[in-house]
Structure 1
Amino acid sequence: MIQSAEDITHTLHRAVQLHASGDLLEAEKQLRAILESDPLQVQANYYLGTVLLESLQALESLPYFNAALESDPQQAQHWLSYIAALIDAEHYEDAKLVLTYGRDAGLDGKSVDYLEQLLAQRQAESLQLAAKTEAMPAAHMQEKLIQLFLNKRYQVAEAALQPLLATYPKWLVGWKMLSDILLVQKKDARLAASHALALNQDDAQEHCYYGLVLKGQGDLVNAAATFKQAIELQPDYAAAYNNLGIVTKDMGDVAAAVAYYRKALAINPGYASCYSNLLFCLSHTDIVSADDLFIEHRKFGAQYEAVYKSAWPKHSHQADVAKRLHVGFVSADFREHSLANFFEPVLEHLSQVADIALHAYANNAIEDGVTQRLKAKFKYWNKVDDLTDAALAERVRADKIDILVDLDGHTAGNRLISFAMKPAPIQISWLGYLATTGLTAMDYYLADAHLLPPGQFDQQFTEKIVQLPANAPFTPSALSPAVGALPALSNDFITFGCFNRVEKITPSVIKLWSGLLNAVPNSKLLLGAMPKDGSYDGVINELASHAISADRLIIHHRSTMDNYLKLHNLVDICLDTFPSNGVTTTCHAAWMGVPTLCLEGQSLMSRGAMAVMLHLGLPEFVVKSHDDFINKGIDWAEHLQYLSEVRAALRKKFNDSALNQPQFISENLVLALRTMWVRWCKKQPTISFKIPD
């Protein structure tokens, strides 16, 4: 309990600050602590009433406003707030009475006139609502809830909705609002969304919304069934086909997902995000060649650039080779995401470069601790998830960005259509997507010599290739445990492992892995990133078709970072996927002492793991053919002592490699940006080049 007057003053000041910042729950907690010590403290009573009123708890606010008014009736605001609370609590006669008392006490002015008009309006609305017997709260309550949501006061809005929905259980908008609020807070929204669906069973969009909620909770099987129900209700529902493609891909059936995406695009050819989903999915399959995959990406670029290319602005930026560069980064993944492992260490050093001003264009409504860390490193932070593609392009132009960097490619939440409008004179794609964007508006693609050896893969890109010493550094997790001993030395079997997403485990991958498992008696396979039960049955069945029984599989679902990293102490060697490699997973595994056996691919998407192994000085884990893959796996299984030595030395190798030199990579990135800018200033064409040359 707060004791001294000084403590009360300090706590009150803190509560007022919390209230001003929007943290109503903590402000309420601090104010109640004051009133436990001094129930008549005027300001604490007034501010607690205010906090409760803003939290849509008008009835609960009344005794606190009343206490403040009785203690200090000379404060006009005490009268006004109490009357406003009585109106919101629907105590209309009491409000009328207090208004009369206030007038008698000298209360006057526009605020009083407004409250009188509001009282009359609310009384009239109340009579109309009673006559209609509406199954929803009054309009002003709904408006206040919407404002709470827009102001990101999610916990307050959630608490306010609960009693309202108990009173109005058939309020469809309320259930959907509650579901949205829970989703934003990463809470389980299934119950709220199911109530909404029950009230609107015949609506295809309602089924699609419920499917998205199920997907968000990882219930992919039921999400897919719900999207199919939406399609049954509305066969030309392109969004439902797109969402069905997403969950089908997440369950590992990439070929079926491709078909769903194509169906959505047949219905709506201009569905850009679905087109990106299709390209992303195709890059994970072996049903198209590298050449055909490039053609598919060029079709995307041609389709959307045909709309905007004629309107590309003639950039009037000052051609000053030494000027301070304004560099913008666009991403939906400035949050807890694998991108941060590679981008944040570069940003740390880039933010300290005096002749570069960093602008972020964050395309995600949700912010977390990683967002806050990244935000602190940018000079300018722009939240753009609510901007149209044209509005984002206009914002970039208005900010006079010299170089605009795409960090997403064709992954979810990308803003490639804005890039197609060419809002900056120089545009670059980097990190988020291991393939071309397909846009001629994108000038450069950043990589390194292991990923894209000079001249060998240029024909797969619309962009010119710029090679850094390493594509990016990698920051291991602070939760990483110590590297354990090689498990096979104490087990009577060797454990192969994979932590890549299930959609990367194609039938061709399973066939190759099965060949290795069948060639190494008693070996087991640990799959460490499986979605919820039932969502990966296709992988299990495919393995069974190649004589890999369930007792040879060790299944772990997606989990927390610390649990995920601990699993590496159960694995002797990781097996890579193709044509889409694991990159983040390969780096995490290497840090945990587990090398990855991988194929040398013929596209950037299939060279990520190989590049990591080569940076670590482990070419013996890179093979050129499927036969070599099996033979090399057998050989490692027969040389466990050597494999144990590799494991023990791998973390040091990582520390000594280019992957652990963020300052060096950042310095070379700055050189690359400056080289691009000098060429633009001199009106020279874009070319592929290497830094340092």
Structure 2
Amino acid sequence: MIQNTEDITQTLQRALQLHDSGHWLEAEQLLHTILAVSPHQPQTNYQLGLLLQESLRASESLPYFNTALEQDPQNAPHWLGYIGALIDASRYEDAKLVLTYGRDAGLDGESVHYLEQLLAQRQAESLQLASAIGEQLPAAHIQEKLIQLFLNKRYQVAEVALQQLLESYPKWLTGWKMMSDILLVQKKDARLAASNALALNKDDAQEYCYYGLVLKGQGDLVNAAAAFKRAITLQPDYAAAYNNLGIVTKDMGDVATAVVYYRKALAINPGYASCYSNLLFCLSHTDIVNAADLFAEHRKFGSQYEAVYKSAWPKHSHQSNLTKCLNVGFVSADFREHSLASFFEPVLEHLSQVTDIALHAYANNALEDEVTQRLKPKFKHWNKVDELTDAALAEKIRADRIDILVDLDGHTAGNRLMSFAMKPAPIQISWLGYLATTGLTAMDYYLADAHLLPPGKFDQQFTERIVQLPANAPFIPSVLSPEVHTLPALNNGFITFGCFNRVEKITPSVIKLWAKLLNAVPNSKLLLGAMPKNGSYDGLVSQLSSHAVGMDRLIIHHRSNMESYLKLHDMVDVCLDTFPSNGVTTTCHAAWMGVPTLCIEGQSLMSRGAMAVMLHLGLPEFVVKSHEDFISKGIYFAEHLQDLSELRTTLRKKFNDSALNQPKLISDNLTLALRFMWVRWCKSQPATSFKVPN
């Protein structure tokens, strides 16, 4: 509570600190708190005026500047602030008058001349706007300031300013789109703003595509698909609309149809690399291609895009120094709250302490969060590269003299494989983000472990050479993990199978197999814990129904926050894995929560992730080789609940004792692997598959 001059001074200082750090709304509240006690305090009025003016609320700032000037007319900034606010508020005659008064009071200098020129310029712009025919828009300087607020991440301030501007300019298309962008960034509902933008430009295909992207960001996949389809109707050769339609169709579980949309986009624009990555990602989630054909599709990608760059691959000028400190770069769009962090961060914690390695991050994520802030200090150099072109990123990596460059994304969203195709570093590695080859000959190595890729067994599915670590990566469970509770079947009287994998992984073949198991165990139920919202999983429910599994057998939960998601495992006795694309993060989470996962040993890396986790935990009985074995094992566990109950109580210990919980071991072996690769390069030896330690 403010009681004296010292309190005012301290509160004002705190408000200024908040303002400087970008917390403008909190600063505004503190300034109002001071004025409630001392309404004529000049410095507080002046600072509040500045804050409101910077927030594009110039009209609101005028009384505060006026009070500051009246209380302390000898202070030149008070005059200048008031005049500038009058100009921003389009009060040009008043600004002229106050300028005259200021000059009479001795006001002079470059700032005064600047305001005089600004006043003349704004008056001229005002006359031009008044004579223009057509839609009314805010002045150009206001739009520029809004853009600056957005670029400076002053999202709340920009939102408040836009709310007021859009009341005055309801037909301002760009304003409504800016509003929807600002709301999306803050994870707020942007649908109304986007629909207002669409209403102003409803015959434009790009406007429908933008609207669809907003709906997709809000989780409204059904209506997003409809918007993309409308965009295609308006512009049949709109490759981006087909690509986006493929994304939402895949997210709703119809992977086969998504593949069709991606291929249509590529037929229109064969050079659409990110769409090609989407196609490959999608194909890896289906059983419509076998492992050999999937590899061939990846090689087509590599051949097509490397053909552009291969002849220009640089002759790297790195010195052949076996013991040098290695510059190791990591490229990812997922240095944020993402499943990647659960595997990468624990290794990074130890790798950052290795004295003969200098870590460089190339972060392709536009938005940063708490995870980003945790990761940043672990790197010697942090580079935000989301606005760099592929060529510019490759050039920066060369300029940074990176010895070994690691891709953490593969063909997932936001990848920078085109930069890798330019071979900016002498040694390039793919790891963690994508359980398949990149298809690039520019990528030298792929990191895995012996459970995922037994020596020599799957080499023909990779352009890269396979490196086997003790485990592909460690997994650190969430600090939000609740305690493991008793097996739910003991109280329910029936077994509950569960799956927390994304809906696009639940293929028709998976549904058919699950239905056979559920029908073989009549009292069983199936919990689906990662369903998209707004009826986007209706196709899945319909397919289960066609196999005699009705809604009374299903327990549906939407994707939620980490704490709620982990708690759902209290309702599950055994998880069922998907194929050909397994769940890896979900399998680890389930195991930590005492729930084993029944899975099929696959014939590609994408279909071996859950198996590897189960084998690392010493649970080979949950890995089967055929669909018939899958059903038999499911029936067995339904009839041996006591075995499941005992396992539930010991699974966390098994996890803690496994290589999955030894990040230092994996970091140490990764360090050895990087040095071994470097030594081979220094000796002009080609990349080769190997196991660590050698």
Task: Using structure 2 for the length normalisation, give the TM-score.
Answer: 0.98
Q: Any idea what the Cα deviations from partners look like across 1:85-144, whole Å, max 9, x if unmatched?
A: 010011111110110111112211222111111112212222222233642111111111
Q: Any idea what the Cα deviations from partners look like across 1:326-357, whole Å, max 9, x if unmatched?
A: 11111111111100110111111111112111
In the alignment, which residue of structure 1 is the partner of 2:440?
Answer: 439
Distance in 2 (alpha carbons) for counterparts of 1:324 and 1:36: 60
In the alignment, which residue of structure 1 is the partner of 2:224?
Answer: 223
Q: Any idea what the Cα deviations from partners look like across 1:262-298, whole Å, max 9, x if unmatched?
A: 0000000000000000000000000001010000000
In the alignment, which residue of structure 2 is the partner of 1:388?
Answer: 389
Distance in 1 (alpha carbons) for counterparts of 2:600 and 2:285: 15
Distance in 1 (alpha carbons) for counterparts of 2:26 and 2:321: 51
In the alignment, which residue of structure 2 is the partner of 1:455?
Answer: 456
In the alignment, which residue of structure 2 is the partner of 1:235?
Answer: 236
Distance in 1 (alpha carbons) for counterparts of 2:380 and 2:37: 45
Query: What secondary structure does 1:270 align onto?
Result: coil
Counterpart of 1:233, as a letter, is L
For structure 1, which segment, 83-92 or 277-286, has the greater mean C-alpha deviation from structure 2 after superposition?
83-92
For structure 1, which segment, 60-69 or 599-608, has the greater mean C-alpha deviation from structure 2 after superposition?
60-69
In the alignment, which residue of structure 2 is the partner of 1:19?
Answer: 19
Distance in 2 (alpha carbons) for counterparts of 1:667 and 1:34: 56
- TM-superposed deviation, 1:307: 0.2
Query: What secondary structure does 2:107 align onto?
Result: coil
Identity %: 83
Query: What secondary structure does 2:660 align onto?
Result: helix
Distance in 1 (alpha carbons) for counterparts of 2:398 and 2:318: 10
Q: Any idea what the Cα deviations from partners look like across 1:436-477, whole Å, max 9, x if unmatched?
A: 000011111100010001110111000111111101110111
Aligned partners of 2:329 and 2:405 also within 8 Å: yes
The 5-angstrom pairing of residues 650-669 of structure 1 reads: 650-669=651-670
- TM-superposed deviation, 1:484: 1.1
For structure 1, which segment, 370-379 or 285-294, has the greater mean C-alpha deviation from structure 2 after superposition?
370-379
Aligned partners of 2:497 and 2:576 also within 8 Å: yes
Query: What secondary structure does 1:528 align onto?
Result: strand
Distance in 2 (alpha carbons) for counterparts of 1:49 and 1:401: 49
In the alignment, which residue of structure 2 is the partner of 1:505?
Answer: 506
In the alignment, which residue of structure 2 is the partner of 1:426?
Answer: 427
Query: What secondary structure does 2:575 align onto?
Result: strand
- TM-superposed deviation, 1:488: 0.9
Query: What secondary structure does 1:360 align onto?
Result: strand
Distance in 2 (alpha carbons) for counterparts of 1:254 and 1:288: 12
In the alignment, which residue of structure 2 is the partner of 1:37?
Answer: 37
Counterpart of 2:536, as a letter, is S
Counterpart of 2:88, as a letter, is D
Q: Any idea what the Cα deviations from partners look like across 1:130-174, whole Å, max 9, x if unmatched?
A: 233642111111111111111111111000000110111111010
In the alignment, which residue of structure 2 is the partner of 1:132?
Answer: 132
Query: What secondary structure does 1:450 align onto?
Result: coil
In the alignment, which residue of structure 2 is the partner of 1:489?
Answer: 490
In the alignment, which residue of structure 2 is the partner of 1:616?
Answer: 617
Distance in 1 (alpha carbons) for counterparts of 2:14 and 2:305: 52
Aligned residues: 693
- TM-superposed deviation, 1:18: 2.3
- TM-superposed deviation, 1:32: 2.2
For structure 1, which segment, 154-163 or 515-524, has the greater mean C-alpha deviation from structure 2 after superposition?
515-524
Q: Any idea what the Cα deviations from partners look like across 1:602-636, whole Å, max 9, x if unmatched?
A: 00000000000000000000001111111111111
- TM-superposed deviation, 1:9: 2.6
Q: Any idea what the Cα deviations from partners look like across 1:23-57, whole Å, max 9, x if unmatched?
A: 22222222222323333333222221111110001
For structure 1, which segment, 20-29 or 82-91, has the greater mean C-alpha deviation from structure 2 after superposition?
20-29
Aligned partners of 2:55 and 2:161 also within 8 Å: yes
Query: What secondary structure does 1:376 align onto?
Result: helix
Backbone CA RMSD of aligned residues: 1.1
Gaps of 5+ in 2: none
- TM-superposed deviation, 1:258: 0.3
- TM-superposed deviation, 1:181: 0.8
In the alignment, which residue of structure 1 is the partner of 2:107?
Answer: 107
Counterpart of 1:265, as a letter, is L
In the alignment, which residue of structure 1 is the partner of 2:156?
Answer: 155
For structure 1, which segment, 261-270 or 149-158, has the greater mean C-alpha deviation from structure 2 after superposition?
149-158
In the alignment, which residue of structure 2 is the partner of 1:170?
Answer: 171
Distance in 1 (alpha carbons) for counterparts of 2:8 and 2:322: 59
Counterpart of 1:452, as a letter, is L
In the alignment, which residue of structure 2 is the partner of 1:119?
Answer: 119
The 5-angstrom pairing of residues 150-549 of structure 1 reads: 150-549=151-550
Distance in 2 (alpha carbons) for counterparts of 1:337 and 1:126: 48
In the alignment, which residue of structure 1 is the partner of 2:98?
Answer: 98
Counterpart of 2:100, as a letter, is T
Gaps of 5+ in 1: none
Aligned partners of 2:219 and 2:534 also within 8 Å: no
Task: Using structure 1 for the length normalisation, give the TM-score.
Answer: 0.99
Q: Any idea what the Cα deviations from partners look like across 1:66-103, whole Å, max 9, x if unmatched?
A: 22222332322221111100100111111101101111
Distance in 2 (alpha carbons) for counterparts of 1:173 and 1:368: 27
Distance in 2 (alpha carbons) for counterparts of 1:663 and 1:473: 9
Counterpart of 1:377, as a letter, is K
- TM-superposed deviation, 1:249: 0.4
Query: What secondary structure does 1:361 align onto?
Result: strand
- TM-superposed deviation, 1:6: 3.1
- TM-superposed deviation, 1:21: 2.4
In the alignment, which residue of structure 2 is the partner of 1:87?
Answer: 87
